[in-house]
Structure 1
């Protein structure tokens, strides 16, 4: 795997065998922002000959040409596909954003890939590595996805490669640190004046060869005596790690018995262990120096991808059903099978329109054919169920800003499809005469609310369409039309995610919006029994208005709503006007009686009243009912009820104290803790929603990026009197 002689130095001119799933490799790059993922993709593109030594493709663009939002924000915010060809293989590299706010793009990349490269910067602290990668590593482990680790930024001063590999084994190895071991050791050049020695090559532990990149081309030589002594201990540990994962149960006994196991046997066992997700090699990589063609470790990494990572044939596709939910047999990665493909990303191009990045799991996708599109819905996020048919536009393969035409896309491959106007991220494409629906992947729950309103009348006219297109592209975003607060709320994953949403609304869809304070749905209730009299009597000539009603109000248990009871005797209020009183009471309850929030959990009893044979009417008794409720409120304590959330926080043990202290400062009540494994604790608490509007941001800061949380509505309960008084004063002042 990198220790065998490379017979293909560049493969720029060799035809790919992409018409066979066995020749395709789909690899997602995972890592913290700034870890070097995009730089690594560019280095691999240059090593394969896909770009020239200046990093340019034919039209002068670069592989890493970002969209305008990424240029302005100076960071990756979306999943990008870079297909390469090397040694007869097609390698689809899926470069994901490293910032936590864009984990939805990462999940899409995991869905489309068959293996993962975890990119770790030598400049990162161990805590940062754990925070950015541990959860994703565990997700990959849960589904058996093969993983390898690539260490970048070895040019950083005071880099300790041996310590970095130990940290990776500790973080990712779990109970088996020998499943995470380096395949190579760095080869250092002459020391600089500051004492730092640059890495100029790699020493293969299995082949015991030195791969020198100092000339800009990979050259291999035997190690000298000093290098041979350095690698002995690391080599023995690597061999033992490979043999312990071997399917040949006799190999360990033979090795411990002193038998010299052949390198070819070790490499074959290594490749099998990597492909089934049992062993995770650590490699190093760096971009090529100016004028050089091959960057450090690029050939070794390409060999790992093509020979160690699995083909799409070895990866079980997600389960499928009919759109109605009926079970269907598992599909296979067969170009001749039924068409099953999935939209893993949706983007908008100002010239082409909507572009869908599609992974084909079964069958062959061809341009100009009509396909069935099935959508899961996710109605709570603004996505409705849909089953429609659309004509597939052109199929292309992206490279920088280029879109290269594809004749078709076979099972196991990825392609961009133009002008699927109804398809959204997560939708399934299938044959129109055999509609299918794929099991959805896990979407992170957006927990940061962003309340917005149109900036002008012109923006208001375009807002709904712009928001619809925005959530169609990004299923991690949830659109809420809050009926209680009358606000339009975009739920996002963090501040950066919110910034990108606002920028896309402005630049792509021409909608300018203003951000306003987010409101929570407060309520009111009576703190004790009360009575009220509503008198609506007016005489202004002609037909007048006459209605008097007397009510009693008493509080009820939480969740009871508003009850209305009729106890009028003797016809004091004519029967036809009793529903009018109830209607007026309920209308006033919806408007509130103290601070303008809905009144709940009360029983209103109509006990007496008066009517006029001519001047009484439905409208008059509605008004009287409302007045009676308002008068009752003036002589009683009105409690403001605030929503309380059930919060579950998963955090590293190191930050449990800080998190619990912070929750207490938010008027929260910790109701329990439990060990969650992996040095983490699950904290369960109840916290007023007024206090956790920005908790998605604050928890990240408190826990140094290691914390996660979920929330759910628990109940409404009275808020402290001092805070309630403050909110009443704000309501009276109109602020």
Structure 2
């Protein structure tokens, strides 16, 4: 760890094949957009010797955020793996997007990692979404540490930021969130701001000076000692409180000086167990500098304090048919169990799957079994197939560096798995397995799309299927009622990236069109009508007359057809024809073009001709009779109503309830959740919540979440129904 005062740079960043799980660390970087995660990854790669200068791989190109969309939008939109090596340990750094729309990429990173590094900007503080991720990690015992960035900002204050972290992340035990180092400030500049020039190690009581572009350690100056003492005592007390050696506290309280080596060992054990969360500081290297401030300390924390894959529990496995299997261990000689955590497409290589190997060893050119849970509601097929693994590689910027194998605990990119999708399990052909899935957020923002041209229409289906194969947080819907193609996404930025990928990656240009909810029509009152279809034009004519009544039924009744014809006025063979015509017209609608439902249609009487009556004639007569009934009474429009549950912090409950009321929602109850938040349950017309995923995020500062489920159709207010009829009449 950093206070060991090691400066060994480790091996350069050429792809290395790990030889044992103990020599691997899988670390996910978490933080809000703009907190500096990507910059930190590049600084760590530079400090480890993987790159020649910040953000550049040795033979050119950007190390991270190399996707064209990321370049244009100036933000991370996908999970990126950057493997580096330090002191003989392979570190798989997983850089995640900080924007809420790409939380699916974050969840994939959490699944693949064994520890999390929370990146907090000293200039911006901690947002609510980052706190939610911290709590999610805490619930599964994932080890966590914090690193404070942007210390160069004029308003940055490390001590204040540490206090914020203790309050937000410490919970009942703020002493478990304490700094390992204190920043050492240089001389004030013309603007009155003193830059951070180094770090003071609290355990070793050494100064690590970065002011000359490379880390050098020395004794602290006399004026540093009072600064060190209070913070050092608090750190030691925090370490001892989590120590497995119960006698250490008694010895410390008795005045005995604790051995630094013992403290470092206990600190590393407490971090690996997920009960102690050190705070560090970091800044990118300046022009010509070899190491960014705090990067060596972070690398030593990762290699010394974060757990190996052997120390983390492997997700439960079953057979593809659901039969339980014994728990797996992180053993390269064990049965193969790997998981696709990300899927992407390369214009030259094709589909590339980023895979975390949990058990066994994955090798190129072997045949594996691919098992998927299937997310049919999101456009992902359930599958259970064998596939041949292509080349294995380690990504480094745009490059792919060949790997001979990937052992348990490691990660690799696999080429040419044409059927595997994100979340699928790779296992031995002779012993297929299926890993327990991880939680994926439900996409709740709909965007209706249509092909821009005939050429795009020909490619649309394939492009969409490949798009959703890459992103399990996206749902593809072919709505039979509105006849729209709908992409359900997590937010507006998610929509923008999806449409951009369709255009640039799959060559499909689409246009966004207004999203329509599936309305229905029904009769407001009983009505009677007569359908007369009589034509004579030489030869056989067409003759059919029927008389019907229509009356409304309770919601959810559908269409009920009743035959009350007496005396054979309508021959028996033509009664099904009348029903068929009625149902066909009902499907088309009778007022604004929406399906008719919740009515009883009763056939009372009619007339037939011995020669000119036919099945087609009575179908037409049935349809005409239904339309005449509709003209005799008021037709109500029915709109779908959803049951939603909105989970927010107590401070936002009033705003949420007021907002729901403004959307014609009915609050039906509130309840406290296990995590201390409040869940508001309401019923609300679906037309009012098309953009609720975006609006709730704004209302709750990114911390709110909601679920929705169809409840029923209800009559729409007359003024809204009239507006829709008017639009339908104008061809809108």
TM-score, length of structure 2 as denominator length: 0.98
* Structure 2: distance between partners of 1:689 and 1:727: 15
* Structure 1: distance between partners of 2:361 and 2:32: 35
* Structure 2: distance between partners of 1:557 and 1:242: 67
Q: 1:541 to 1:525 in 2, by over 3 A?
A: same
Count of residues paired in the alignment: 732
Give the equivalent residue in structure 2 for 1:19: 19
Deviation (angstroms), 1:262:
1.9
**SS of 1:49 mapped into structure 2:** coil
Q: 1:54 to 1:607 in 2, by over 3 A?
A: closer
Give the equivalent residue in structure 2 for 1:696: 693
Deviation (angstroms), 1:380:
0.8
Whether the 8 Å CA contact 1:16–1:88 is kept in 2: the answer is no
Whether the 8 Å CA contact 2:13–2:85 is kept in 1: the answer is no
Q: 1:259 to 1:291 in 2, by over 3 A?
A: same
Whether the 8 Å CA contact 1:64–1:400 is kept in 2: the answer is yes
1:380 aligned to 2:369? no
Deviation (angstroms), 1:13:
8.8
User: Alignment partner for residue 338 of structure 1, among 325, 335, 338?
Assistant: 335
Whether the 8 Å CA contact 1:372–1:389 is kept in 2: the answer is yes
Give the equivalent residue in structure 2 for 1:574: 571
**SS of 2:38 mapped into structure 1:** helix
Give the equivalent residue in structure 2 for 1:452: 449
Superposed CA offset, 1:115-169 (max 9, x none): 01111111114xxx23231111111111111111111000011212111111111
**SS of 2:4 mapped into structure 1:** coil
1:657 aligned to 2:637? no
Give the equivalent residue in structure 2 for 1:725: 722
After TM superposition, the structure 1 = structure 2 runs for residues 227-626 of structure 1, keeping only pairs within 5 Å, are 227-626=224-623
Give the equivalent residue in structure 1 for 2:627: 630
Gaps in structure 1 of 5+ consecutive residues: none
Whether the 8 Å CA contact 2:79–2:96 is kept in 1: the answer is yes
Whether the 8 Å CA contact 1:41–1:95 is kept in 2: the answer is yes
* Structure 2: distance between partners of 1:375 and 1:57: 36
Give the equivalent residue in structure 1 for 2:98: 98
* Structure 1: distance between partners of 2:142 and 2:570: 74
Give the equivalent residue in structure 2 for 1:648: 645
* Structure 2: distance between partners of 1:107 and 1:101: 12
**SS of 1:169 mapped into structure 2:** helix
* Structure 2: distance between partners of 1:149 and 1:602: 62
* Structure 1: distance between partners of 2:15 and 2:522: 74
Q: 1:677 to 1:164 in 2, by over 3 A?
A: farther
Deviation (angstroms), 1:678:
5.6
Whether the 8 Å CA contact 2:9–2:49 is kept in 1: the answer is no
* Structure 1: distance between partners of 2:17 and 2:724: 68
Q: 1:606 to 1:451 in 2, by over 3 A?
A: same
Whether the 8 Å CA contact 1:65–1:401 is kept in 2: the answer is no
CA RMSD of aligned residues (A): 1.5
**SS of 1:609 mapped into structure 2:** strand
**SS of 1:3 mapped into structure 2:** helix
* Structure 1: distance between partners of 2:581 and 2:250: 87
* Structure 2: distance between partners of 1:65 and 1:585: 58
* Structure 2: distance between partners of 1:637 and 1:258: 89
* Structure 2: distance between partners of 1:54 and 1:535: 82
Whether the 8 Å CA contact 2:65–2:75 is kept in 1: the answer is no
* Structure 2: distance between partners of 1:377 and 1:664: 37
Give the equivalent residue in structure 1 for 2:31: 31
Q: 1:53 to 1:73 in 2, by over 3 A?
A: closer
Whether the 8 Å CA contact 2:421–2:469 is kept in 1: the answer is yes
Deviation (angstroms), 1:58:
2.6
**SS of 1:459 mapped into structure 2:** helix
Whether the 8 Å CA contact 2:517–2:686 is kept in 1: the answer is yes
**SS of 2:225 mapped into structure 1:** helix
Give the equivalent residue in structure 2 for 1:72: 72
* Structure 2: distance between partners of 1:315 and 1:284: 27
